[in-house]
Structure 1
Amino acid sequence: MQHMGPTLGIALLVGFMIYRRTKRTIGLQKIVPSRLIFRIILFGVLGCMFLYLGVLHPINLVADGIGLICGLVLGHYAIKHTQFERQSDGMYYRTHLWVNIAVLALLVGRIAYRLLVMSSQGPVPGDPSANPMQLYGKDPWTIGIFFVLVSYYIRFFVFLLSKGK
């Protein structure tokens, strides 16, 4: 119960990010190179941090690799089905809706499952692994799904950056 505040804060932040991502998924989107570069760097740094944590837990390395491969395959499929339009004020694109929905559903489903499991178990007094942030790092499924997102978005954003030039 003592970790309810941070867990709720993380859930609200993730919910807001998912809302924004879903809103951007539908319709034409302008290619803005500065945003794409920022997102590539952000996902790259987060991916490197979790990859480093994966070295500490060898089973997570397997999940990292599987997640990276699945994300690259999804990214390749999305790239093949992305539509582009050149308008007077720049280049626009429309992403493949079903791939984005699948990636978001994986993320939302896994986070909801982890929050449900964490809330039903409750922390064990004196247990250092009772910290919710540490629990995310020890779960290979969550880490694997995170790497699906990392590799998908980095691959897709690099492609958009090259296409926008």
Structure 2
Amino acid sequence: MIANPQHLAFTVGMAALVVWRLSVRMRRLMTRQRLCVQRQWITAIVFALLPLVLLPGIEAAHAALWPLLAGLVSGIALGLIGLRLTAFESDHEGHHYRPNAYLGGAIAVLFVLRLGYRLYEARDFQLGTATSGQAAHLDPLTLGILGLLSGFFVTQAAGILHWYYRRAERD
């Protein structure tokens, strides 16, 4: 018997999103990537909407909003650092970029580890051995890491799009 179907739906949805992004990201971390404008827009929109989807649940627990905001600010700062470390180039094949493998990979792995821990806690909750009844999406550490991931990927995608449109203006 599932204790909280909403919790399970959230966890499965987040796991699917993370697995999708990690598979794409890890496959390309060390190689030159052809810039696909549509993919950057999708990344920017999906990761910008992610914290907004959580807002209705967070409104009930005002204290949970601060870790999410701190994570977003930290993610934006790391995204800006990542953009400085990203190599951009244009040639006869088109526009390309090479993101910093270590920074993006570390943030993604941090989120996957936290999600794995929350799944482990969900198993304890379902077995009745959990010590906390707090929903997984309202946990401050999880929200902070989610904000970090979201802020980082939105900033990266926006920066890449900015470079592309500025370059297209010149050409």
State the TM-score, normalizing by the size of structure 2: 0.79
- Amino acid corresponding to residue 147 of structure 2 in structure 1: F
Equivalence for 1:45:
49
| Counterpart contact for 1:75–1:152, Cα < 8 Å | yes
Distance 1:36 1:11 in 2: 20
Question: In 2 relative to 1, CA 58–9 (structure 1 residues): closer, same or farther, beyond 3 Å?
Answer: closer
Equivalent of residue 105 in structure 2, options 101, 123, 147: 101
SS at 1:84 equivalent: strand
Residues 54 and 64 in structure 1, CA contact (< 8 A), matched pair in contact too: no
Report whether the alignment pairs 1:89 with 2:93.
yes
CA distance in 1, matches of 2:58, 2:15: 26
Give the 3-state SS of the residue equivalent to 2:135 in structure 1: helix
Distance 1:54 1:23 in 2: 34
CA distance in 1, matches of 2:47, 2:105: 19
Residues 1:121 and 2:125 are matched in the alignment: yes
Change (3 A) 1:114 1:76: same
Provide the secondary structure at the position in 2 that maps to 1:93: strand
Structure 1 residues 15-61: Cα deviation after superposition (integer angstroms, max 9, x where no partner)? 34422221122211111111111221111222212234322211211
3-state SS, counterpart of residue 122 of structure 1: helix
How far residue 123 of structure 1 moved from its aligned partner, in angstroms, is 5.4
Alignment match, 2:71? 67
Alpha-carbon distance in structure 2 between the residues aligned to 1:15 and 1:98? 18
- 1:27 aligned counterpart, secondary structure: coil
Equivalenced residue count is 158
Partners of 1:10 and 1:152 lie apart in 2 by 20
Structure 2 stretches of 5 or more lacking a match? Answer: 166-171
- Measure how far apart 1:164 and its partner are: 1.1
Instruction: Give, in whole Å, the separation in 2 of the partners of 1:81 and 1:135.
Output: 37
Q: Which residue of 1 aligns with 2:34?
A: 30
The unaligned stretches of length 5 or more in structure 1 are: none
> How far is the alpha carbon of 1:11 from its aligned partner?
7.9
The 1:47–1:12 alpha-carbon spacing in structure 2 relative to 1, beyond 3 Å, is closer
Match of 1:49, SS state, is helix
Read off the aligned partner of 1:142 and give its amino acid letter.
T
**Which residue identity lines up with residue 71 of structure 1 in the other structure?**
G
